[in-house]
Structure 1
Amino acid sequence: MIHPMRRQPEHVYERLLLHPIMQLCLACLCSLLLPLGLFQSQVHYQHGLWSGMALGLSLLIWSRLRSFPYSRGLSTSLPLFTLIWCLGALSSSVMYSAPHWGFWLSSWCGVSVWLLLMQWIERRIARPYLALVPFGRIAQLKLDPTARTLVLKTPQLPDDQVMDALVADLQSDDLPAQWEEFLAECALQQLPVFHLSAISEGLTGKVATDHLRQGELGNLLPSLAYMRIKRMIDTCAALVLLPLLSPVLLLTAFLIKIDSPGQVIYKQKRIGYRGQPFEVYKFRSMRHEAEGEAFTAAEGDPRITRIGRIIRKYRIDELPQLLNVLKGDMSFIGPRPESEDLAAWYTQDVPFFAYRHIVRPGISGWAQVNQGYATQIEGMKEKLQYDFYYIKHFSLWLDVLIVFKTLRTIATGFGAR
């Protein structure tokens, strides 16, 4: 279980709202029953069947994505349900006849209302309440607002509040015997007891590296089977996207050429899979005669051209890396490859930095969609924690989540320089 905390309902209405069957019934009511009743005389039952399959598929994927942190907002769930609803409407029109757009629109509106209700429940009712044991590194624990915390002063749970889990530094040397007995008793009473790193990882999406021992690296090995499957998916997706995006590629190349002199495609040595160097392809976004660092040091870098500022903001400059994906140098999703100079610098100053090369680098990644651009040592240390989380939970579902978050990043320009 990646996101281990679940709110224990205290009241009857909380039990009803948090019960999976009740939530499923509400989803069916909003997205199926009400639209079918509204268009009862106009809609064939086959449209209702397709809408039901769209709901089932959406809920299946949604439930898997929600196991990861930063996945419970509408920015992830609404695009997912919208995409599947559009596919359902198009599939029903191909299989039978032209879809009833009024029914599909009302069905989508209904599931959107249900998602808004689920968002309200997440924020108002379902936030877990964690009790913190005040020893060891517990003071360094940083949690996001998805959890409420209470620091215990004595080895006793409060009488006026239901706790969902206990969090302790189980490796602490100064944990008194009385508190150890208290933790054991809580575990016997079916109250979950977590080590602080597990809770921090589940809520922040980062694997702490400050206290990572080399013996623990074995737990971060990615699935070899999924690596092979992912390579096939990358190749097929690149073959489909290259012709589809060719108008964008040609237009961008033309604008770069007329905006400033120099080559349209910029090549740079990067460190990739298993530490092997390769040439990454990007649309040139800087003046070719400008000198400076091998990275963008600030948002207002004067070397960036007018067109370069636009294509960087919306990640259009990364599109030539589809060729890197076809060649096998890169994947669509993975840790961003660093230049040779930066990689050498980070390897010296950032512990375990080279371990991120155990998977293929990506055009987008878990660190990019959550942290944005980072070059300094402290920023890279945080970026490496995101990369380790990705490697540890290397899976199709995490990649799907990153794809949806990447689309949001492209739309908002988050983290661009």
Structure 2
Amino acid sequence: MTTEKLPINPARHTRLHERLLLNPVIGHVAGLLFILLGSQIFTFGKITLEYDPNVINSQITLALIYLGYALLSRKLIRFPGGRSIPYSLSISLSLMGLSILVILALRFGYSRSTLFSGFALIIIAQAANFLISRHYRNLKFAWIPYGESIPTFNDTNVVIRALEKPDLETTRYDGIIVDVDQELSNEWLRFIAKHSSTGLPVIATKSFIEALSGKVSLNKLNIHDMDSFHPSQGYQLVKRAMDLLITILILPLITPACIILALVIRLESKGPAMFIQERVGQKNKTFKMYKFRSMRICDDQTPRFADMDQHRITRVGAIIRKLRLDELPQFINVFTGHMSLIGPRPEQPGFVEKFEEEVPFYSYRHTVKPGITGWAQVMQGYATCTESTREKVEHDFYYIKHLSLWLDLLIIIKTIRTVLTGFGAR
């Protein structure tokens, strides 16, 4: 009777003008025409059928960028943060940058005025879509306020209203939220059954909180949930192939920077440029993880949280930590197969033993390969105590449960933001 997924678009708008305004196909056709015809006006001063191969190439490029943005946006809005304008802009700007690289690399003819005016129109179309979404595409849910409470979220696209009685009255909703573990009166059960039979989604409170927070609550986990923490073997093979391809392409590019960094680290303080430490990876197997050294050498190898060693961080170390450059040697770990580009961060064996005693189901985060970056890092930053580690595991479980190409892509976008802003630097 209940569903784990939140609807992507509001279902409550059933009036004709609402269906026309909010229909995604109509909206994307209108957006595409706006971009293609607008770029023609910028180029020729009018709409024309005049044949110019450079203009045609540019307009095909604009159409592919817009359609790529439409597809990716639809996939990413399923995840927390996927609806925000910064990530929508990140997708468009990335596609624009990629298209320019392809055009220059393959020496395609193009019209500069058509292409760059089209880029500006794509941004304008996105802004218009964002404004429409804020007013009309927000999701409105009726909450049966018994059992688990719902925390406050910063997501402006979601409106939650607590019901005082089993009656929606004249208000239209996109779903009903209910704690399925809570015993309800027959009156509420009849209310749920009635609206569920009309097609109105009924969403478990646990699933609703998970969808908006990007975390799987450890307090609500039980042994029956463990089946969802075994990701698709097919995608893991694809992921490994992508890891290898990207690493082979990137290693030659970053090698000169790594050599310079290693020299600077050696010149600033005594000790090796590389820091090698044993970590726990997939299937609880240990491996040697490589990083650039960012701290002064210490003989005490007792596992401890990063914030306890702040006094040992060197000046160069502070910079490379903030920019995540200390992680660059881990591309070697990705190449050898011990790590992936994206996944839960690997922990020291001493920490793993401690967390397994304190955090239930902790070992399930080792069902996938650890990563250079991950969902917990871009959503939370680095853990500094057992409580924040518990929250990190909740983020890791969300990643494992929803592991897909689209979530990995969103993590890449968020990682770029993390590097640029220094979020979570320790």
Check whether TM > 0.5: yes
1:149 partner SS: strand
1:216 corresponds to which of 209, 215, 225: 225
Q: 1: distance between equivalents of 2:416 and 2:95?
A: 15
User: Residue 406 of structure 1 aligns with which residue?
Assistant: 415
Count of aligned positions: 414
What does residue 280 of structure 1 align with?
289
In 1: Cα distance, 2:81 partner to 2:305 partner? 27
Q: Which moved more, 1:180-189 or 1:52-61?
A: 52-61
Q: Is the aligned partner of 1:4 residue 2:7?
A: yes
Measure how far apart 1:237 and its partner are.
1.0
Give distance in 2, aligned partners of 1:318 and 1:2: 35
Query: Deviations for 1:296-317, whole angstroms, at most 9, x for unmatched residues?
Result: 4439811111011110011000
Structure 1 stretches lacking a partner, 5+ long: none
Cα distance change of structure 1 residues 94 and 240 upon mapping to structure 2, 3 Å threshold:
closer
- SS of aligned partner of 1:202: helix
Report the 3-state secondary structure (helix = DSSP H, G, I; strand = E; otherwise coil) of the residue aligned with 1:55: helix
Aligned partner of 1:189 among 184, 192, 198:
198
The C-alpha deviation readout for 1:344-385, integer Å capped at 9, x for no partner, is 111110011110000000000011111111131221121111
Deviates more, 1:304-313 or 1:101-110: 101-110
Is 2:93 aligned against 1:82? yes
1:54 aligns with 2:65: yes
Judged with a 3 Å threshold, the aligned counterparts in structure 2 of structure 1 residues 205 and 102 are, in CA distance, closer, same or farther, namely: same
Q: Distance in 1 between matches of 2:27 and 2:289?
A: 47
> Are 1:23 and 2:33 an aligned pair?
no
- Identical residues among aligned pairs (%): 34
Residue number in structure 1 paired with 2:55:
44
Verify: 1:157 aligned to 2:168, yes or no: yes
Once residues 227 and 314 of structure 2 are traced to their aligned partners in structure 1, the CA distance between those partners, rounded to angstroms, is 45
Q: Which amino acid aligns with 2:217?
A: A
- What do you get for the CA RMSD once the two structures are aligned? 2.2
- Deviating more after overlay: 259-268 vs 290-299: 290-299
Give the deviation of 1:155 after TM superposition: 0.9
The alpha-carbon distance between structure 1 residues 330 and 144, as it changes in their structure 2 partners (threshold 3 A), is same
Q: How does 1:80-229 map to 2 (within 5 A)?
A: 80-93=91-104, 97-137=108-148, 139-145=149-155, 146-159=157-170, 161-172=171-182, 174-229=183-238
Describe the superposition over 1:142-191 as per-residue Cα deviations: whole angstroms up to 9, x where unpaired: 544331111111111132x221110001121x311111111001112222
Instruction: Please state how far the C-alpha of 1:141 moved relative to its aligned partner.
Output: 4.7
Distance 1:132 1:298 in 2: 40
* CA contact 1:50–1:92 (8 Å) conserved in 2: no
Counterpart amino acid of residue 400 in structure 1: L
Q: Displacement, 1:12?
A: 6.5
2:190 counterpart letter in structure 1 = E
Superposition pairs of residues 349-388 of structure 1, within 5 angstroms:
349-388=358-397
Q: Which moved more, 1:288-297 or 1:81-90?
A: 288-297
**Counterpart for residue 316 of structure 1:** 325
Give the secondary-structure state (helix, strand or coil) at the position aligned to 1:245.
helix
In the aligned structure 2, how far is the partner of 1:19 from the partner of 1:162? 18
Q: Deviations over 1:66-108 (max 9, x none)?
A: 2222112232221221222233344345556442222211111
Separation in 2, partners of 1:252, 1:64: 38
SS at match of 2:369: coil
Could you tell me how far apart the structure 2 residues matched to 1:298 and 1:399 are? 28
C-alpha distance in structure 2 between counterparts of 1:242 and 1:188, whole Å: 56
2:372 counterpart SS class = strand
TM-score between both structures, scaled by the size of structure 1? 0.93
User: 1:110-146 CA distances to partner (integer Å, 9 max, x unpaired)?
Assistant: 1111112222233333221111112122x25554433
Distance 1:299 1:147 in 2: 39
User: Aligned equivalents of 1:375 and 1:329: distance in 2?
Assistant: 25
> Alpha-carbon deviation of 1:14?
4.7
Tell me, yes or no, if structure 1 residue 244 matches structure 2 residue 253.
yes
Specify every segment of 5 or more residues in structure 2 that has no aligned partner in the other structure, as ranges: 45-49
Aligned in 2, Cα 1:97/1:337: closer, same or farther, shift over 3 Å? closer
Q: Is residue 2:279 matched to residue 1:260?
A: no
**2:47 aligns to what?**
none
- The answer to whether structure 1 residue 393 and structure 2 residue 397 are counterparts is no
TM-score by length of 2: 0.91
Residue 33 of structure 1: aligned partner: 37
Q: Aligned partners of 2:161, 2:368: CA distance in 1, in Å?
A: 39
AA in 1 matched with 2:177: V
Distance 1:99 1:301, change over 3 A: same
SS in 1 for 2:310: coil
**Structure 2 residue matching 1:287: 3-state secondary structure:** coil
| Alpha-carbon distance in structure 2 between the residues aligned to 1:261 and 1:123 | 55
Residues 95/311 of structure 1: CA separation in 2 closer, same or farther (3 Å cut): closer
AA aligned to 1:67 is R
In the TM superposition, what are the counterparts of 1:228-239 in structure 2 within 5 Å? Answer: 228-239=237-248
